[in-house]
Amino acid sequence: MTQPHEGFSKYWTPKQFIGKSVFDNKGQDCGKIQSLHIDPQTFAVSGIMAKKRLAKEYFISRGYFKKINESGLHLNSIPIKPHDKVVDTEGKNMGKVIKINLNSETNKLESLEVKLGFKSRMILSGNIVGVGDKITVKS
């Protein structure tokens, strides 16, 4: 005989994830879970797609996950999101993130496409020195 499902058990269904809030390590709301990404080899969750209000969806790799509970998914750091401001080490505005490029095999950040006015430029992940309210990069 099966037990009725009440609340959250040891195993979660995709329905329980979708719509949950995502919080960074400082407790700031990073959006809501839109979908799960499943690794076809291991059948494990490799990441999620999250979205905050009118911004574009963005991918958060499993390596950022700290815990999930009834309040939402809690991350172990601050993720880089579309429309985040980018500044150089001297504080000069370099634009906003318009695209996040990940390695297709490892889901690790490779580069960011940043736009200021009509110009866009690529910033390699090795040039990122800090992520917080703004993304700081080497000039």
Query: Residue ranges of the domains in the chain?
Result: 16-75, 85-137
The CATH number corresponding to 16-75 among 2.40.10.10, 3.90.320.10, 2.40.33.10, 2.30.30.240 equals 2.30.30.240
Q: Please report, as a single letter, which amino acid is at residue 28.
A: Q
Average per-residue pLDDT in the chain?
A: 87
pLDDT-derived band at 2 (thresholds 50, 70, 90) equals very low
Please give the model's pTM, rounded to 2 decimal places: 0.75
Residue 8 near residue 17, CB atoms below 8 Å: no
pLDDT one-digit tens code per residue, 65-121: 999 888 999 999 988 888 899 999 999 999 999 999 988 777 788 999 999 999 999
Choice between 14 and 115, residue whose per-residue pLDDT is larger: 115
Token pair 């329905």 is found at 15
Element (H, E) at 16: helix 14-17
- The residues pairing with 84 across neighbouring beta strands, listed in sequence order, are none
Q: Let me know if the fold of 16-75 is the same as that of 85-137.
A: yes
Q: Which helix (H) or strand (E) holds 14?
A: helix 14-17
* Phi, psi of 94, deg, nearest 5: -110, -5
Work out the angle at residue 66's Cα, subtended by the Cα atoms of residues 123 and 99, and round it to the nearest 5 degrees: 25
Give me the pLDDT at residue 5, please. Answer: 47
Q: What is the mean pLDDT of residues 6-33?
A: 84
Taken in order 59, 132, 64, 11, is the CA torsion positive or negative? negative
Please tell me the predicted confidence (pLDDT) of residue 3. 47
Tell me if residue 30 falls in helix, strand or coil: strand
d(CA 35, CA 16): 11
For residue 85, give Cα distances in angstroms to 26, 28, 93, 138, 139. Answer: 18, 16, 8, 14, 15
Q: Under CATH, domain 85-137 is a member of which superfamily? A: PRC-barrel domain (2.30.30.240)
**What pLDDT, on a 0 to 100 scale, did the predictor assign at position 7?**
53
